[in-house]
Each structure stands twice: as C-alpha cells, then as structure tokens.
Structure 1
Amino acid sequence: MTRSTATSAPADRAATALDAVRAATEPLLAAVAGLDQRALAGPSLLPGWTRGHVVTHLARNADALVNLLTWARTGIEHPAYPSRADRDADIHAGHDRMARVQREDLIAAGERFLHEASRLDADAWGATLFHPSGRPITAAEVPELRLFEMCVHGVDLDAGIGFADLEPIELLLEIAVRARGEGPVTLVADLPDGRQASFALAGTAATEVRGPAAAVLAWLTDRGPASALSGEPPALEPWG
C-alpha cells in the first residue's frame, strides 16, 4: 500500500513536491525550447488546443497558484482565478505570441511560483484554501497541483515527453486518485522499480484494476484507454 503524502506534516509534504517541481522543470523547458513558431501553432494532444495554448496555460497556472500561496502566507483570501471565463480568456490571448515570448513567460512564471513558495513558513503550509473547483485544500497541496500540471501537460505538448518519463510517478498517481475520489475499487499500479502502489478508487463495485504505472496514470487522466489495464476498470467522468 502506498504511503499517502497527505499524512506527512504539511511543510514536509510541500518540500517533497517542490523538489519534484524543480526536477520536472528542466525536461519541460527543454521540450518547449524545441518548439518553434510553427510547432507551437500546431495541435497538442488536447482537443481544440495548440501547443501554444498548453504553454500559456502552464504559465498562467503558475501565476494562479502563486495567488493561492499568497493567500496562505497572508491569510487574505486570494482565489486562483477571478473566474473560469477570465482563465480561458488569458489562455486564448497568449497562445499565439512569439515563440520566444511564450518560452520566457513560462520560465518567469515558474520562477515566481518557486519564489512565493520559498516565503511560506511551516504554519502557512497548513492553511486551508480553496481549489479552483471549489473544494477545500491545504496550502501543502498547492506544490503537488503545480507538479501535476507540469507533468501531465508536458505530455499534452506532444513534444517528446510520455507518461513513462514522468517522475515521481507514485506521487502523480496519488494526486490523480485523490482528484477522482476514494471508493471500493482497488487500483494497483506496477511501478518502474518493480514495486507496486495500491489505491482505493471511486467506483460502483469492489473490484481490482491493475496495470503499468504509466498506463494507469494515462487512464486516470482521460489520456489513455482502459483496455491497457487488467480487471474491470470503472467508467470515469471526463477529466477536468
């Protein structure tokens, strides 16, 4: 059974995820650096979005999570986005900028996120905030949200990063399962190092579903087929 990061002290939990964010930054920026203007204008793996949409979303997501960290640090409510419409408008407005501008924007936004994270003390990491979806979270979950966005949308770029490349895969699985909800389904992921991670996943019946970690994560995020797994995978709602 995997150990949940949610049981760790908030500051320790945040530190673990922030280390992973720093490690994930290099391959993400390398992938984006390889995209010229034409490539950025080409389709991503997300329906209706170009790669430029994905890059811009990643930058604006960093800024949105800075807002949540500022809320945690100051105690003054500061939602991630003013509204869903504002979020979508910002992504659309930035998706067709010059390639150099998009790359520099992504770099700067990531640096702003890490800087704001460095300003939080141990007490602030335990603060209660609200996810853009409306569900309550602790500040310690915010770095995990950033890691997840960077990794999964790095795959969405269709620029050389695959689910098998993502690290730490066990933490990413835990985040995805948390978003899906807990239930009677036993979900077993075979990790690259030979270990297994087991999760309780929402579903309508007590059953076991199993597969390679990368295939499990792809399925959980609505980016891979249930046919890649063994057992009887439950029907999942569209991701996001």
Structure 2
Amino acid sequence: MPRTFDDARRWARLGTELFLGAAGAGLGEPSALPGWTRAHLVAHVAANADALGNLVHWAATGEPTPMYASPEERATVIERGRALRAAELSAWLRDSADALEKGMAALGEEQWGAQVVTAQGRTVPATEVPWLRSREVCVHAVDLANGVSFADLPADFLTALCDDVVAKLAAAPGPAASLRAPGAAWELPGHGETALVTGELHEIAAYLTGREAIPAAPTLGAWL
C-alpha cells in the first residue's frame, strides 16, 4: 500500500524521538558512516531540519527559499555544527526539530499543495517534506550506531523506504535483482542475470540503503 501523508507525519515524529534518544551520549564516537562521528550526524540532521524549514517557509509564504544556498554552504554548516560543544549541538538538534514540527503543523491544506524544490533539484509538493524528514531521522538514527537498528523501525516505514530506494535505483544503471521479504517483493531491472535476494524486511531495507550486505547479493549503487 502506498505511503500516505499521515504516515509520513507519524514516521517523522517517531524517527525524531529515536534520533534524539540515540544522540544523547558519545557524540565524539564514530558513527556507522565512514569518516563521520556522531557529532557530524547530529549536525547534519539539525541542519536538515533547518533546511526543510526553509521549504515549509516557501510553502507558507510563496517566497522561494531553497534548502541550502549551495552544497558548499551545507558542508560548512555541518562542519561548524559538529565542532560545537555537546550541549550546544544537542540544543540545536532539539530546537531545529521543534521548529520544523511547529512550522509543518501551521500549514493549511492549500499551502501543503505548494510546489517547492528539494536539495537534489526536484520540484515536489510540500506534502513531500514529512517523508523527506522521516527518511532522514529514521535512517540516521541507525547510522548513529548507538542502539537503534533497522529492526527497530516500523514495518510500514521500511516498506515505504524500500519502495523509494528501488524506484531511485531502477532509474540508474545497475545489477538486476529480485528482492524478497516476508509479504513483500521488489524487482530491480538492470544488467546481468537477475540475482535473488532474500531476507527479513529490515535486512532488505538495510541492504538497499547500503548499510548492510547480504551474502551473495550484488553491490548496488548509491540511492541518494
């Protein structure tokens, strides 16, 4: 069943709580992302809330407000944020999440239908913002490597995530694969003989997003 707007709003709130809980300690420790500490990830997620808040402002006012001025500005903000003292970084994370939630809660039906532009240059209705946020906080809560795993994420979110990743991977060259989880299946067109990849739903989601390998499964390209 396709994800709904209400689903995405619910996942964004749940993922935010998971991320906040996992980001509570050890910010100087390595994350699961190569070369990044947990502080890098916290700064990234806080900056993402501010950036998505720009899209909410765009939808609310009609004033074009890009997520980031440039990729360089985005990198600078993260680097500056990860160097903050732990208390300051944690406060930014929580305050930015609260501001984004309040901004979304204030949008009316017509404003939710406004067209905005993502950091990847896609023009989408503002109703996509909760999905972008839920994807960010849920996946990066796992990336913090501090007690949250894909198995802790809701099954309906994982299904929607797999749908999203498969759609993106299918649009680029890559290996052909047939993915099977209990009660769910996806087909990835591509080159070579189609590989059968099986696992639990959380394992398929982790594999598709490049977080965990599945034995004998082909290596996939980046999804974002």
Give the TM-score normalised by structure 2. Answer: 0.87
Q: Percent identity?
A: 37
Q: Deviations over 1:88-118 (max 9, x none)?
A: 0000011022211111111111111111111
2:145 aligned counterpart, secondary structure: coil
Is the 2:49–2:133 contact (alpha carbons within 8 Å) kept by the matching residues of 1?
yes
Q: Which runs of 5+ in 2 are unaligned?
A: none
Partner residue of 1:173 out of 133, 158, 162: 162
Partner residue, 2:31: 44
Q: Which of 21, 24, 30 is the matching residue for 1:30?
A: 21
Aligned partner of 1:193 in structure 2 is none
Q: Deviations over 1:40-60 (max 9, x none)?
A: 112111111111000010000
CA contact (8 A) 2:29 2:37 kept: yes
Query: 1:211-232 deviations in whole A, cap 9, x for unaligned?
Result: 2111111111111114275xxx
The alpha-carbon distance between structure 1 residues 76 and 110, as it changes in their structure 2 partners (threshold 3 A), is same
- Residues 176/71 of structure 1: CA separation in 2 closer, same or farther (3 Å cut): same
Contact 1:186/1:206 (<8 A) preserved: no
Report deviation, 1:16.
2.0
Deviations 1:49-89 (A, max 9, x none): 11100001000001111111221222221111111100000
1:13-53 C-alpha deviation (Å, 9 max, x unpaired): 332211121122222212112x1xxx211211111111100
Distance (whole Å) between structure 1 residues aligned to residue 149 and residue 132 of structure 2: 19
Moved more, 146-155 or 97-106: 97-106
Shift of 1:129: 2.1
Q: TM-score, with normalisation over the residues of structure 1?
A: 0.82
> Match for 1:213 among 195, 198, 201?
201
- Structure 1: which 5+ runs fail to align? 6-12, 191-195
Separation in structure 1 between the aligned mates of residue 203 and residue 216 of structure 2, nearest angstrom: 6
**What secondary structure sits across from 2:191 in the alignment?**
coil
Alignment of 1:1-240 (within 5 A): 3-5=1-3, 13-33=4-24, 35=25, 39-167=26-154, 168-181=157-170, 186-190=178-182, 196-204=183-191, 207=194, 208-227=196-215, 233=218, 235-240=219-224
In 2, the alpha carbon distance for the partners of 1:26 and 1:239 equals 25
Letter in 2 for 1:220: L
Which letter maps to 2:180? V
* 1:8 corresponds to: none
What is the alpha-carbon root mean square deviation over aligned residues? 2.2
Matched residue count: 218
